[in-house]
Amino acid sequence: LGKHVVFMETVQSTQKEAHKIAEEAAEGTLVIAEEQTAGRGRMTRPWHSPKYTGIWMSLILKPDLPPVKAPQFTLIAAVAVAEAIRDTAGLKPEIKWPNDLLLNGKKITGILTELQADSDRIRSIIIGIGMNVNQSSFPDELAGIATSLAIEKGEPVPRAKLVQAILKNMEIYYAEYIENGFGAIKEKWESFAVSIGRQLIARTIGGTIRGKALGITEEGVLKLQDENGIIHDIYSADIEIEQ
């Protein structure tokens, strides 16, 4: 992965660029920029991406799989990134299902997995990774919820090393996933997961569900048990950890 790299100093969004080139791009193409002027997160939220301080990148994969498998790629990427942070910066992030990595309860990385697909087959999967690396401060509206590796570690962390580690890990887990399925990676995911066993509030398009997180399925679906004992399958939601 990352043999083909599209590097741009400034771009609206690497995700948007990746979408544009996905059809003709080779598998493993990486779109990476020093700055995004219109970076976006899940649910069309803006993603703050100041120059030279973070990792703003989108990886294009082309697995021969049905679209229902796409959410697993968010989980695979989360493990790849969590281990890269652990091995490069010596910090242990927590994964909050489905796509957040936290340090001391604040967001360090967000992952945005998007698809170009036919009804039965993925054409391209675009994994956007935004990591706060060397910011020394955040705008007021983010200060309480976001942090950077440099803030947590007390010194700058080399971005190139992190990118290399993420790609190397992704390559290993992607191959393992294609060969053996999600099982082995699921265990690693769970070793970083902060939300399992906790009481959560899941805000979904269909409404809000409160319950205890029992775990994730092989598909990457979150199982939430409400106070009446009913178990809900959560495919996509905003999660708040209640206790």
Q: Give the residue ranges of the annotated binding site for biotin.
A: 36, 40-42, 107
Per-residue contact string for residues 102-121; x = within reach of ligand BTN by CB under 6 A: --------xxx---------
Q: Determine phi and psi for 210, rounding to 5 degrees.
A: -105, 135
Shortest reach from residue 32's CB to ligand BTN, in Å: 8
- Position of minimal CB gap to ligand BTN: 110
Residue 14 touches ligand BTN, criterion: CB under 6 A: yes
CB of residue 196 vs ligand BTN: minimum separation in angstroms?
Answer: 19
- Distance of CA 86 to CAs 60, 93, 102, 180, Å? 24, 7, 12, 25
| Stretch 121-150 residues interacting with ligand BTN (CB under 6 A) | 128-130
56 binds ligand BTN (CB under 6 A): yes
For 75-110, letters b (16+ CB in 10 Å) and e give bbbbbbbbbbbeebbeeebbbbbbbbbbbeebbbbb
Residue pointed to by tokens 């340090």: 103
Residues that bind ligand BTN (CB under 6 A): 13-15, 36, 39-42, 45, 47, 49, 56-58, 99-100, 110-112, 128-130
